[in-house]
Chain A
Amino acid sequence: MKRDRTPQTLVLILAAILAVGPFAPQWTVFLLTVALAKGLVVLGLMILLRCGLVSFGQALYYCIGAYAAGMLGRLFQVSGVFTLMLAGMVAAGVAGFVFGFLLARYRSIFFGLLSLAISMILYGLLVKTEALGSSDGFNLLPSTLAGIRPADAWVRYMVLAVAAAVAFVAALLVHRYLKTPLGRLAPAIKDNEIRVEYMGASARHAIHVKYVIAAALAGLGGALAATTVGHIDPEMAYWTTSGEFIFITILAGTGNVIAPFLGALIFGIIQTVAFDISPNTWQMVLGSSLLVVILFLPNGLWSLFTRRKAS
């Protein structure tokens, strides 16, 4: 049997990020932190995609997570990064649990469009809510760690370190989850739900659980993105944001829990470089690169690694 080196690889990546972080230019630290935040959302989408479900509305939970973190600061002056992330994760997880009762009944395009519809309702509500800054959103309090506000030069590194640690734990937990019977059921649900039912399992229940996990991860990512950027607005729930997450999911592939983070980082790099070269047509560069990946690596970027291992 193939040895599973994912946990060791994750430790190495975490160590590398923590070690290189202090010396890296500010813009790369920012890029990496945002990639980690988006990678968390994509990690959840990956869990859903493994059982054949594409959520076109994951920005809903991303936005809920961000606003939960933002409101905690606005209403109660809470600024601890871990508290904010926990709040984002719990808020999104609870919302996912509630909407899950509805969405776990639907499959394929109906699942996708229904999730899109719910996310656009939140967008519409936020745009009309003046108390939360309408379409402008609002700024977050400067974040602190254990009640301490580090020197300005170190703030970004602090958020990066926290992001890396949180992503590390999330990736490890999801990795373990994918190996449990419920986690392994995903491709079976994708292939044949009748059989799943006649083997004695409930596909709907399994999907509900996966949906809540994905929502909680998206909320975590949203809270993290909010702390990193320091500003939130309804755009976070807009359908283009959901589209971006799907884009990264397809780019990354569902082969391994590291893939979403790698995909998010490469997405960030392509986006930054493309914007730098051609500010007016950067979307074209992004679109073309996805086209290339779909044509040559139909199972996503991660297949580059598995392919090498197989040969």
Chain B
Amino acid sequence: MAAILDAQGLHKNFGAVTAASDINAAIERDSVVGLIGTNGAGKTTFINMITGYLKPDRGRIHYEGRDITELAPREITRLGICRSFQIPQLYASLTAFENMMAGIGVVLRNAGLGGFFSRGEPLVPGHNLPADQVAERILERFGLSEYRDRNAQVLPGGVRKLLDIALTMVAKPKILLLDEPTSGVSSEEKFTMMEMIMKAVRAEGATVLFVEHDMEVVSRFAERVLAFYDGRVIADAPPAVALEDPEVKRFVVGGELHRLDEAQAKHRA
């Protein structure tokens, strides 16, 4: 099996807190992996280490056989590992369309196209279309066409999340890391939203890792689950197996239910 991404023995401390402890994960090409675990279990730390935002204290990360542990986020992005954010990171004063165009601009620039001395309109690498058509097409795939000319800062929460993910698609990522793509969206809408995201993302043929708290969403969309607890990976298996694992049930799924209970209790009070 060809692992596109291989994390070996990742370890990260923040002072006395261990955020990651001996994390090993080999991600296969074209797979869809769900990352689960309670808050603070190490999911986002894992994503941050892969994308270069955090450097692990120990351990290596290989991508397509290349060691990317020491690379800066922008270099890792250029290699084809893109991410979305828990809190959407958009260009607030620009419209949805302009957000896409800004992203495409970076792709063109990194490919050495559309520069000061080039003539004519370049085709966006990977898409083989002019920039504005790529923007339109991706917006359409994510159901964002009607928001095309509205400023990112006035868009509703769910739309902002979709735009945040749509932005990652301009670079034709080979690996896409989605940090809680459906957080802040009602549980009824979660499925439709995930459906749309997965369809759009898979149409471009990317390997997907997503963080999700809703176990129904996980078992529906993930082919494989990595369960985090206390900075460690406590289960690495298909969802049917992983979600039935006693440790996972106790620390992750149980934890989620516990949190839910707490939230409901707070709501009632």
A-side interface size class: 20 to 34
Q: Are A182's CB and B109's CB within 8 A? A: yes
B90 lies within 8 A of chain A by Cβ? yes
Which residues in chain B, 202-221, are within 8 Å of chain A measured between CB atoms?
A: none
Interface residues of A, dominant DSSP: helix
A230 lies within 8 A of chain B by Cβ? no
Q: Are A198's CB and B77's CB within 8 A? A: yes
A136 lies within 8 A of chain B by Cβ? no
A130 lies within 8 A of chain B by Cβ? no
Which residues in chain B, 81-122, are within 8 Å of chain A measured between CB atoms?
A: 82-83, 89-94, 98, 101-103, 105-110, 113-116
Residues in A whose Cβ lies below 8 Å from that of B116:
176-177, 180
Q: Are B102's CB and A190's CB within 8 A? A: no
**A206 to B, closest residue via Cβ:** B109
Q: Are B91's CB and A200's CB within 8 A? A: no
Q: Are A187's CB and B93's CB within 8 A? A: yes
Q: Are A194's CB and B89's CB within 8 A? A: yes
Residues in B whose Cβ lies below 8 Å from that of A197:
72-74, 77
A192 lies within 8 A of chain B by Cβ? yes
Q: Are A192's CB and B74's CB within 8 A? A: no
B159 lies within 8 A of chain A by Cβ? no
A107 lies within 8 A of chain B by Cβ? no
Give B contacts to A, CB under 8 Å: 51, 72-75, 77-78, 82-83, 89-94, 98, 101-103, 105-110, 113-116, 167, 170-171
Q: Are A200's CB and B77's CB within 8 A? A: yes
Q: Are B106's CB and A201's CB within 8 A? A: yes
Residues in B whose Cβ lies below 8 Å from that of A191:
90-94
Give A contacts to B, CB under 8 Å: 176-177, 180-182, 184-185, 187-188, 190-192, 194-202
A sample of 11 cross-chain residue pairs with beta-carbon separation below 8 angstroms, ordered by A number, consists of: A180-B114, A181-B113, A181-B114, A187-B94, A187-B102, A191-B91, A192-B90, A192-B92, A195-B167, A199-B102, A199-B107
Residues in A whose Cβ lies below 8 Å from that of B110:
200-201
Whole-angstrom CA separation of A180 from B116 in the bound complex: 6
Whole-angstrom CA separation of A200 from B81 in the bound complex: 10
Whole-angstrom CA separation of A199 from B170 in the bound complex: 9
CB of B115 to closest CB in A, whole Å: 6
Q: Are B93's CB and A184's CB within 8 A? A: no
Whole-angstrom CA separation of A187 from B108 in the bound complex: 17
Residues in A whose Cβ lies below 8 Å from that of B74:
197-202
Q: Are A185's CB and B171's CB within 8 A? A: no
Q: Supply 15 further A-B pairs (C-beta < 8 A) apart from A185-B105, A194-B89.
A: A181-B115, A182-B105, A184-B101, A188-B91, A192-B89, A192-B90, A195-B89, A197-B77, A198-B51, A198-B73, A199-B102, A199-B171, A200-B75, A200-B106, A201-B106
CB of A147 to closest CB in B, whole Å: 32
CB of A253 to closest CB in B, whole Å: 15
Whole-angstrom CA separation of A231 from B160 in the bound complex: 56
**B118 to A, closest residue via Cβ:** A180
Q: Are A201's CB and B94's CB within 8 A? A: no
Residues in B whose Cβ lies below 8 Å from that of A188:
91, 94, 102, 105
**A193 to B, closest residue via Cβ:** B89
Residues in B whose Cβ lies below 8 Å from that of A190:
93
A177, A181, A185, A194 pick with most chain B CB within 10 angstroms? A181
**B116 to A, closest residue via Cβ:** A180
CB of B154 to closest CB in A, whole Å: 14
